[in-house]
A = this chain, B = another copy of it.
Amino acid sequence: MGYNLKELFEPKSIAVIGASKDPTKIGHVILKNLVEGGFSGQVYPVNPSADVILYQHAFASVLDIPSEVDLAIIVTPQPVVLKVLEECGKKRIKNAVIITSGFAEVGNTEVEEQIKEIAKRYGIGVIGPNCMGFINTYTRVDSVFNPVYKLGRPKAGEIAFISQSGAVGAAVMDLAAKMGVGISLFVSYGNAAVINETDLLQYLSDDPRTSVIAVYLEGVRDGRKFLDVARKVTKKKPVILIKAGKTQAGSKAAASHTASLAGDYAVYSSAFKQAGILEVESLTDLFDYSKIFLQPFPNGNRTGIITNGGGIGVLTSDFVIRNGLQMAELDIETKKTLRDSMPMHVNIGNPLDLAGDADAARFKVAIDAMMQDKNVDIIILTPLMQTISLDSSIIDLIIRESQKMIKPIAVVTIGGTYTEQNRTLLENGGVPTYTSPYVATGALSKLAWYAKRYQKD
């Protein structure tokens, strides 16, 4: 491709072309988010009819800006996009995000071809058009045009997310912020006129801040190239993907959305698998699966379950088996340790039901025993937080055990406000939490598969 994506995502100076004084306009919200969101570089509003916007001096054209500009964010009306992109070229701006829509996705392929032509002529790396651009949580560059009170920004972390759909991407970012999932980079790339999913995948493969790559995809421009790149990337980092437009109805909808040819899903799905891509079914699964890959890689799939609620232990055991994991057979020494330290009404086995009167100390004994048992590769904790005897002291305990990074630990818990608060604490402490044993075991199963395939640990 020849473009420098590192420079694109880490600019020192940004021109917002189409910046606006009107708070209901995208060009206002983007400028506001940049100015107030912690970006430490220079920001230049560009608008032919405004002097000052949000206390920043505005320029009639990028050509009037006296200093160098690294990135242009273009939010002008569609008819002037070509003109301002040409000006960016003359100004030697090397990268641009075109937020504006009204191109190939509505049949204007000719104008989109002209974008490509200008980009090529001047060597401009372009994200979009018809997109939301990107959020870099480290440098605080943020071109997403949703107000922060409606769309929370996620904290910095190790999961990158690239999304063909802007709205889906934004909604999922908002969810990540709420869930406490850390993000390295979010890119909504829309019509992908210049920089496409394959370029982004390649870039993220080498990005030291990114450990896991999550992808929302409707269609692929060059399927063969995408898969060739993916095959290499998945050897380095897990790629978790959701494909929209699986059915004829969905595929038809995708065509008018991001001008995608969604293609035959069965072909896609089998190719993804061959390339080592992990496909998920629902948007919430994207991060529920991604975050498990920040856990240590297991040596196998023998799973131990510790609970204080018999029923959730039963359900979790079912899903362990149905998702292709194994139930660990506890070592005889482990059983002895547990029997010696547990009250008689606790049945020693797997699932290990510590009973409704279990406190944090009883959980600690159980977790330590499973951590040391060589027959246990994976630990699932399902503490129900509603009981009299369990309190938030179990949270610190689980976080400390998890931080040892010896075996993957996932927590499944279900409930209301009190449970949610404790879940948030766990997530903030780096422990992956789930509201359903189905999703937790699904994610762990992929982790075990990936660890085995690429023999990492």
Q: Are A165 and B311 also in contact (CB < 8 A) when A149-B418, A178-B415, A317-B249 are?
A: yes
| Nearest CB in chain B: distance from A316 CB, A | 8
Which of chain A's residues 148-189 have a Cβ closer than 8 Å to chain B?
149-152, 163-172, 174-175, 177-178
The yes or no answer to A84 lying at the interface (CB within 8 A) is no
| Nearest CB in chain B: distance from A246 CB, A | 5
Chain B residues with CB below 8 A from A254, complex form: 314
**When the two chains form their complex, are residues B150 and A314 in contact, meaning their CB atoms are under 8 A apart?**
no
**When the two chains form their complex, are residues B386 and A250 in contact, meaning their CB atoms are under 8 A apart?**
no
Q: Are A257 and B178 also in contact (CB < 8 A) when A321-B247, A386-B151 are?
A: no
Neighbour of A386 across the interface among B150, B315, B322, CB < 8 A: B150
Map CB proximity to B onto A289-326 as digits: 1 under 8 Å, 0 otherwise: 00000000000000000001111111101101110000
Map CB proximity to B onto A342-355 as digits: 1 under 8 Å, 0 otherwise: 00010101010100
Chain B residues with CB below 8 A from A152, complex form: 416-418
Q: Using C-beta atoms within 8 Å of the partner chain, give the interface range for chain A.
A: 35 or more
The yes or no answer to A256 lying at the interface (CB within 8 A) is yes
**When the two chains form their complex, are residues A388 and B149 in contact, meaning their CB atoms are under 8 A apart?**
no
Whole-angstrom CA separation of A245 from B101 in the bound complex: 52
**When the two chains form their complex, are residues B250 and A388 in contact, meaning their CB atoms are under 8 A apart?**
no
| Nearest CB in chain B: distance from A392 CB, A | 10
The yes or no answer to A384 lying at the interface (CB within 8 A) is yes
**When the two chains form their complex, are residues B244 and A311 in contact, meaning their CB atoms are under 8 A apart?**
yes
Chain B residues with CB below 8 A from A106, complex form: 345, 347
**When the two chains form their complex, are residues B318 and A247 in contact, meaning their CB atoms are under 8 A apart?**
yes
| Nearest CB in chain B: distance from A83 CB, A | 21
**When the two chains form their complex, are residues B308 and A167 in contact, meaning their CB atoms are under 8 A apart?**
yes
The yes or no answer to A123 lying at the interface (CB within 8 A) is no
The yes or no answer to A26 lying at the interface (CB within 8 A) is yes
The yes or no answer to A263 lying at the interface (CB within 8 A) is no
Whole-angstrom CA separation of A313 from B385 in the bound complex: 37
**When the two chains form their complex, are residues A416 and B250 in contact, meaning their CB atoms are under 8 A apart?**
no
Neighbour of A250 across the interface among B150, B151, B245, B315, CB < 8 A: B315
Residue of B nearest to A246 (CB): B318
Map CB proximity to B onto A394-434 as digits: 1 under 8 Å, 0 otherwise: 00000000000000000001111111100000000000000
Whole-angstrom CA separation of A104 from B415 in the bound complex: 28
| Nearest CB in chain B: distance from A240 CB, A | 16
**When the two chains form their complex, are residues B345 and A388 in contact, meaning their CB atoms are under 8 A apart?**
no
Tell me which of A36-44, A202-210, A279-287 binds B: A279-287
Chain B residues with CB below 8 A from A417, complex form: 152, 178
Map CB proximity to B onto A66-92 as digits: 1 under 8 Å, 0 otherwise: 000000000000000000000000000
Residue of B nearest to A422 (CB): B150
The yes or no answer to A258 lying at the interface (CB within 8 A) is yes
**When the two chains form their complex, are residues B387 and A150 in contact, meaning their CB atoms are under 8 A apart?**
yes
Lowest 6 CB-CB distances: which A-B pairs, in order? A165-B311, A167-B309, A178-B416, A168-B311, A257-B310, A250-B318
Interface set of A (CB-CB < 8 Å, partner B): 24, 26, 29, 101-102, 106, 145-147, 149-152, 163-172, 174-175, 177-178, 216, 218, 242, 244-250, 252-254, 256-258, 281-284, 308-315, 317-318, 320-322, 327, 345, 347, 349, 351, 353, 356, 384-389, 413-420, 435-438
Q: Can you add 7 more A-B contacts, CB < 8 Å, to A167-B312, A282-B436?
A: A150-B387, A168-B309, A174-B418, A177-B416, A178-B420, A248-B321, A283-B315
